[in-house]
Amino acid sequence: MKLASHLLQLLETATLSNLEQAELRCRIARELEEDGDYEAARRAMGPLWRRVGERPLLDGLDERTAAEVLLRAGTLSGWIGSASQVEGAQEIAKDLISESAALFESLGEPTRTAEACIDLAICYWREGAFDEARVTLGHALARLTDEEVELRARVFLNSTVVEVSARRLHDALRIITEAAPVFAESRSHALKGKFHLELAVILRLLGTAEGRDDYIDRVLVEYTAASFHFEQAGDKRSRAAVENNLGSLFTTLGKYQEAQQHLDHARRLFVAFKDQARIAQVDDTRARAFLAQGLNAAAEDAASAAVRSLERGEEPSLLAEALTTQGAALARMGRTQQARAAFERAIETAYRAGDPESAGVAALSIIEELSDQLTSVERKEIYERADDLLSGVQQPAILLRLRECARKVLAARMTELGHDRAVTDEEAMGASSQAAADASLAAPWESFSLDEEVRRIERRLIERALKKAGGRVSLAARLLGFKHHQSLNSLIESKHPDLRDKLVPARPRKRRNGIRRH
């Protein structure tokens, strides 16, 4: 912020050519953008670019300066469009940034091309187009040398954000952990803060899902570090993001009063910035906190506010999450038809945006919240859809929810067949959308074998878990809900020996005395 103020003073007092003024305005706007003050950055662009939807004035500029102006107008269109929920803003941003990238590429400037690619990837991420974001970030990284620390850190940071949004937490943790030395080299407090913030988010999600107390203990440390760096950078918007995440953490821990305090603080900060998208995120977090306390009407009010705000913009993944929360609140209030409509809209919104994971979570929520109102055919079809949509998910909490929904599908099927015993853990692990696939609904006893059906489905899920785990039985066991990997080994040996070739050999480890063991 101090540098931006100095540059603004220079702009007002120095005698500069039109080209020099344009270059200086772009530099000021970039500094203010990094501080999270997007409106001040827009004003700093002066006559070059005034608002989202307006094409920048490039007359009299050389190609390089024109590329800089296009890049700043494009990135600010994306950020302001998100904050103010401006319809069409992300497409406008992508067009301007892509034009800038093409100019930089033609000028033989790989570093500036890479920066444009990073900002373009952020637009894709906002739209829920995670595959496009990954590819674009890969293009950026390929153009950078090891010495370009700040931009490489931005690539790794945004790659992590994409994987967290796609619920591929183990991939996200791997990326950010491997990139830690790059962030350590960075001189940017803003980047360091975002590193600690994303690491905290990942550890919180994995820690609560896997019962990792060591992760949870680290979360508060990481949030504290993030807040420190954001304060040093003068980035109040990112500090508000930390407050929202702390609200989510304390909700998970059942500390609702502390959660509310942090969420109130986050909302005040975002209101000051008039950041409608982030206000909506806080409202969605508040809604989930209310649901956890059984305050369903308050949850519905908060979730509805989030939906109304987000449906005006172009961030479908956020909208799908808010719709899913709204659906859960409506279901618990007994408003079944409205709940089902909210869930279905969440599925469609996320799926069309290229975010199958959010669509899958919404589908799971239908079974979780409305199972008693579903026919056996509906329950089966919805589970099949969720199972397919979540085929790439790595988040343990969602895999656990998938298993619990499988239990409901199988339990309902057993009730139809006249069984009155509870579904065992082993059967629940094996239950899936195939639970009734080979049995006739019109004649349910014909050619039906519960043991064979469970064994077949069980094999399918074990094979899927091993594939996700890269053949590591200990990780696959955690994904499937076993406390000890020996249980999964025994199950494979006794019932599914054909899966042995899916296992990778255990790595020999060393004892403290240096003797190798397996």
Please indicate, yes or no, whether residues 461 and 498 belong to a single structural domain of this protein.
yes
- Is residue 363 assigned to a domain? yes
Higher per-residue pLDDT: 302 or 14: 302
Shared domain check, 288 and 253: no
pLDDT at 5: 60
129 within domain boundaries: no
Q: Are residues 376 and 467 in the same domain?
A: no
Reported as a single tens digit per residue, the pLDDT across 404-434 is 888 888 877 777 666 555 555 555 555 544 4
Within this chain, do residues 403 and 467 fall inside the same structural domain, yes or no? Answer: yes
Co-location of 299 and 243 in the same domain: no
Q: What is the mean pLDDT of the chain?
A: 86
Residues 507 and 403 in one domain: yes
Kindly give, in sequence order, each residue whose CB lies less than 8 Å from that of residue 509, ignoring residues fewer than 6 positions away: 516, 517, 518
Read off the CATH number of the domain in which 245 is found. 1.25.40
Instruction: Tell which of 229, 258, 273 closes a domain.
Output: 273
285: CATH = 1.25.40.10
Question: Are 325 and 210 in the same domain?
Answer: no
135 within domain boundaries: no
376 and 299 part of one domain: yes
The answer as to whether 29 is a domain residue is no
Among 233, 255, 273, the domain boundary falls at 273
Q: How many domains does the chain have?
A: 3
Is the domain of 412 the same as that of 359?
no
Burial classification of residue 344, based on how many CB atoms lie within 10 Å of its CB (0-12 exposed, 13-18 middle, 19 or more buried)? middle
Task: Indicate whether 474 and 415 sit together in one domain.
Answer: yes
Domain assignment of residue 108, yes or no: no
Can you tell me the mean pLDDT for 342-354?
Answer: 92
Instruction: Tell which wins on pLDDT, 141 or 13.
Output: 141
Q: Which residues of 256-269 are buried (b: 16+ CB within 10 A; e: fewer)?
A: beebbebbebbbeb
| Same domain as 280, residue 269 | no
Q: Please check whether residues 287 and 335 belong to one and the same domain.
A: yes
Range of the domain at 247: 188-273
Q: Residue 457's beta-bridge partner residues?
A: none
Share of the chain above pLDDT 90, in %: 59
**Domain boundary residue among 210, 244, 273?**
273
Say what the pLDDT of residue 12 is: 63
Q: What is the Cα–Cα distance from 280 to 264, expressed in whole angstroms?
A: 13
Q: Identify the residue whose tokens are 């006249």.
A: 418
Is 251:288 a contact under the CB 8 Å cutoff?
A: yes
